[in-house]
Amino acid sequence: MIKKLTIFIFIIFGLTNCGYSPMYSDNNDMNFEIYKYELEGDTEVNNAIENKLKKYLNNNSKTKYIIKLESNYEKISATKDRTGSTTHFKLVVNLKLIYEKIGSEQKKAKKEASFSESLIIKKNTDNFEQNDYERITIKNISELLFNKVILYLARSS
């Protein structure tokens, strides 16, 4: 017991003193601005992305982007039981980024990148709980994909 406690204390002190911080916790130092954006596709995915997008607008950076995000959401039957009814669903969210850098001396060429995330969830017997869980999951996946987009834009600027 004392050995486990000692190891636990060393892990706690090690993580707090080594400068560990979560990967997406501080994206405030991004050196670009989203000048103009357009969202197409699934409304639920777009709403989650638009909420996160607001902090990257009008921050007076030198690098500016015009972006277009096309989202797609699919709910696929992943597994079925003996009777043929679905027991697990696969939720797939695809995000296509089309972006253009403003003010670059290069020829204004639109570039593309695609991002995708999927998750297998168990089917719930209560439809209300199932829909609520899917909505929360889609929102989380959408925010994860948007973080990937932001990191991609930050690295390409």
CATH number for the domain harbouring residue 120: 3.30.160.150
Q: Is the pLDDT of residue 27 over 70?
A: no
The pLDDT-based confidence of 24 (bands split at 50, 70, 90) is low
* Residues of the domain holding 138: 31-156
* 60 Rama class: left (phi>0) / alpha (psi -120 to 50) / beta: left
Model pTM score: 0.76
Q: Is residue 13 part of a domain?
A: no
Asked whether the beta carbons of 89 and 78 are under 8 A apart, the reply is: yes
Residue 143 lies in a domain: yes
Q: What is the pLDDT of residues 101-147, one digit of tens each?
A: 887 565 567 899 999 999 999 998 888 999 999 999 999 999 999 99
Domain tally for the chain?
A: 1
Confidence grade of residue 18 (pLDDT, cut at 50, 70, 90): low
How high is the mean pLDDT of the chain? 85
Would you say residue 25 lies in a domain?
A: no
Q: What is the pLDDT of residues 72-98, one digit of tens each?
A: 999 999 999 999 899 999 999 999 999
